[in-house]
């Protein structure tokens, strides 16, 4: 039900305890309802999870409800899990699940804070509420939940749930996630601090430390960025040999950019090499336009370059929505050259929609030099999500794109 197993649920592998309290008289023949449980909070939670596993939803709901009413945080979260997905034959009631997760969070269970944050962010089972979702992730982060700290960082980085993007707060949230062992949080914190021009004193050194921690945490992108810093002597001493070693580690971790740079260094024999990297976001929303599997190959290493690449297209969201008012998910590839979009291609869409989308994207402007691809959601939101699900189920994927493997 929750993203990770409840400790009390896991304890069922070792023991089962009966509810405490005096023996109860049999139910009156006139009533088919069983007597209310009298167990203590933790016992009710344990017995409720056992009943759920035995496909006795009514019994499970009574026990978990008592555990929650007695202030048992994990009991509230487990009860919410039943209502969230109708687990074990129980009723499905997502709005009630949100309320129960919220109660569990307020009682101190960090995972419940993050879970309700995810539900409010997704907006599938309940209406989306990005500001409230961010608040829940912040609560979970304060309770030392690495996933929540990382997700709060994503909200601040992209400006979701807040009036505008806030890279400084994003870097702080990613740094918290890093401190809790989240390797990608380390990488993102480093990205937001690193700047080859105009960095404040000590920021590049801190960024390199974050990259090193990401690399040690098996995040190949961290090895790649640490290698670039060593190659250029930014935030650390220039050392081509160390850069080559770090690019090799990135390559071994599955980063094709690392493989390409390691090979370039080998062939360059001391000469300067040109660097172009692939950046990717599974989902990114800019100015109301949501893109899935966004990837761009570009020489820019600015942390907001990927957002800027989508922002140029998002400036024409109204024109894109007019192409498919009922909603659609359209695979688009484009490049930025000389300040404007070029080589725009739309795949797998109705010809009329494709032509309309192509004209809208061709109006995009950006100072970037980049080649990008994404599946963008246009028109009515529910229809667009349905179209995306259908596209994924038919395995058509995003448009063909001559990029190295994206991160």
pLDDT of 204-247, one tens digit each? 999 999 999 999 999 999 999 999 999 989 999 999 999 999 99
Q: Which helix (H) or strand (E) holds 373?
A: strand 370-378
- The per-residue pLDDT for 162 is 94
CA end-to-end span of the chain? 29
The Cα–Cα gap between 150 and 145 comes to 9
DSSP character at residue 291:
E
Q: List, in order, residues 6 or more apart from 406 with CB less than 8 Å away.
A: 278, 279, 280, 295
Distances (CA, A) of 139 to 114, 155, 270: 8, 14, 50
- What is the DSSP-derived secondary structure letter of residue 322? H
pLDDT for residue 44: 96
Instruction: Please give the pLDDT value at position 362.
Output: 96
> Do the domains at 7-128 and 182-274 have one common CATH topology?
yes
The residues pairing with 328 across neighbouring beta strands, listed in sequence order, are 378
- Residue-level pLDDT at 400: 33
What is the 8-class DSSP label of residue 254? T
List beta partners, residue 4. Answer: none
The DSSP secondary structure of 255-267, one letter per residue, reads -HHHHHHHHHHHH
Q: What is the pLDDT of residue 371?
A: 93
Report, in angstroms and rounded to the nearest whole number, the Rg of the chain calculated over CA atoms. Answer: 25
Give residue 88's pLDDT: 67
Q: DSSP letters along 58-107, please?
A: HHHHHHHHHHHHTT-HHHHHHHHHHHHHTGGGPPP-HHHHHHHHHHHHHT
The span from the CA of 119 to the CA of 257, in Å, is 34
Rounded to 5 degrees, what angle do the CA atoms 124, 130, 133 make?
85
Helix (H, G, I), strand (E, B) or coil at 141: helix
The rounded distance, in Å, linking the Cα atoms of 381 and 328 is: 9
Looking at domain 182-274, its CATH class is: mainly alpha
Q: What is the pLDDT of residue 302?
A: 56
Counting Cα atoms < 13 Å in the Cβ hemisphere of 342 gives 9
Res 4: pLDDT:
44
Return the closest-CA partner of residue 258 out of 277, 274, 281, 237: 277
Residues near 85 by beta carbon (within 8 Å), at least 6 away in sequence: 1, 92
Parts of the chain with a pLDDT under 70: 1-33, 88, 270, 300-303, 395-407
| DSSP bridge partners of 292 | 283, 375
Residue 9's pLDDT is what?
36
Q: Within a 10 A sphere around the Cβ of 105, how many other Cβ atoms? A: 25
What's the pLDDT score for residue 98?
95
| pLDDT per residue as tens digits for the range 28-37 | 444 566 778 8
Say what the pLDDT of residue 90 is: 74
Q: Domain-by-domain residue ranges, the chain? A: 7-128, 182-274, 278-393
d(CA 291, CA 282): 8
pTM over 0.75: no
- Span 7-128: which CATH code? 1.25.40.10
Nearest alpha carbon to residue 341 among 321, 361, 314, 316? 361
Inter-residue contact 377 to 390 (CB < 8 Å): no
Write the DSSP assignment of 197-245 as a string of letters. Answer: SSPPTTHHHHHHHHHHHHHHTT-HHHHHHHHHHHHHTSSS---HHHHHH
Burial 66-94, CB ≥16 within 10 A → b, else e = bbbeeebbbbbbbbbbbbbeebbebeebb
């Amino acid at each position: 039900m929750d993203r990770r197993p409840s400790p009390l649920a896991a304890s069922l592998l070792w023991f089962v305890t009966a509810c405490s309290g005096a023996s109860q008289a049999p139910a009156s023949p006139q009533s088919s309802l069983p007597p209310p449980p009298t167990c203590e909070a933790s016992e009710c939670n344990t017995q409720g999870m056992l009943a759920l596993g035995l496909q006795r939803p009514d019994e499970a709901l009574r026990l978990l409800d008592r555990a929650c009413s007695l202030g048992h945080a994990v009991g509230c979260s487990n009860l919410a899990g039943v209502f969230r997905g109708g687990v074990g034959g129980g009723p499905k009631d997502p709005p009630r699940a949100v309320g129960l997760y919220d109660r569990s969070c307020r009682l101190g269970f960090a995972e419940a804070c993050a879970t309700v944050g995810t539900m409010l962010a997704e907006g599938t089972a309940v209406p989306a509420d990005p500001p409230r979702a961010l608040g829940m992730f912040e609560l979970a982060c304060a309770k030392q939940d690495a996933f929540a700290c990382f997700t709060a960082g994503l909200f601040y980085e992209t400006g979701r749930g807040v009036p505008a993007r806030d890279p400084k707060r994003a870097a702080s949230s990613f740094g918290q996630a890093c401190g809790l062992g989240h390797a990608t949080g380390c990488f993102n914190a480093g990205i937001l601090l690193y700047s080859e021009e105009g960095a404040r004193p000590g920021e590049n050194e801190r960024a390199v430390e974050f990259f090193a921690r990401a690399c040690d945490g098996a995040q190949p992108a961290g090895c790649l960025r640490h290698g670039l810093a060593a190659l250029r002597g930014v935030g650390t001493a220039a050392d081509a040999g160390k850069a080559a070693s770090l690019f090799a580690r990135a390559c071994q971790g599955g980063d094709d950019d690392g493989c390409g740079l390691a090979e370039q260094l080998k062939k360059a024999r001391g000469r300067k090499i040109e660097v172009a990297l692939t950046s990717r976001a599974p989902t990114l929303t800019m100015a109301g336009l949501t893109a899935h599997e966004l990837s761009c190959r570009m020489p820019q290493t600015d942390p907001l370059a990927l957002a800027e690449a989508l922002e140029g297209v998002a400036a024409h969201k109204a024109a894109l929505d007019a192409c498919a008012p009922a909603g659609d998910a359209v695979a688009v590839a484009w490049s930025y050259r000389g300040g404007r979009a070029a080589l725009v291609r739309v795949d797998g869409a109705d010809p009329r929609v494709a032509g309309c989308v192509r004209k809208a994207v061709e109006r995009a402007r950006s100072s970037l030099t980049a080649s990008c691809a994404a599946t963008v959601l246009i028109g009515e939101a529910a229809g667009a999500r349905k179209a995306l699900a259908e596209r994924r189920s038919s395995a058509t994927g995003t448009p063909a794109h001559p990029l190295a493997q994206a991160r």
